[in-house]
């Protein structure tokens, strides 16, 4: 579980950096998107999507 967690964290962190850099602001849309990424971690890492 450690390797997928680290990989997911790195990918999501990169996505967050790119989104914030591109939008140059934090707003509700960004916040909702980041919460969505957080919730998707449970689906990918713990198999709730099966």
Residue 1 has pLDDT above 80, yes or no: no
Give pLDDT, residue 36.
Answer: 92
Flag whether 6 is in a domain.
Answer: yes
Residue 50 has pLDDT above 60, yes or no: no
Give pLDDT, residue 48.
Answer: 60
Flag whether 50 is in a domain.
Answer: no
Structural domain for 36, as ranges: 2-45
Indicate the number of domains in the chain.
Answer: 1
Flag whether 34 is in a domain.
Answer: yes
- pLDDT tens, position by position, 4-49: 888 888 999 999 899 889 988 888 888 898 899 888 888 887 776 4
- For 1-50, the DSSP string reads -HHHHHHHHHHHHHHHHHHHHHH-S--HHHHHHHHHHHHHHHHHHH-TT-
Structure tokens belonging to residue 1: 């579980």
């Amino acid at each position: 579980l450690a390797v997928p967690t680290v990989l997911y964290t790195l990918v999501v962190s990169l996505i967050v950096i790119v989104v914030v850099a591109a939008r140059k602001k934090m707003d509700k849309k960004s916040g909702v998107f980041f919460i969505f990424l957080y919730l998707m971690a449970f689906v990918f890492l713990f198999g709730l999507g099966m």
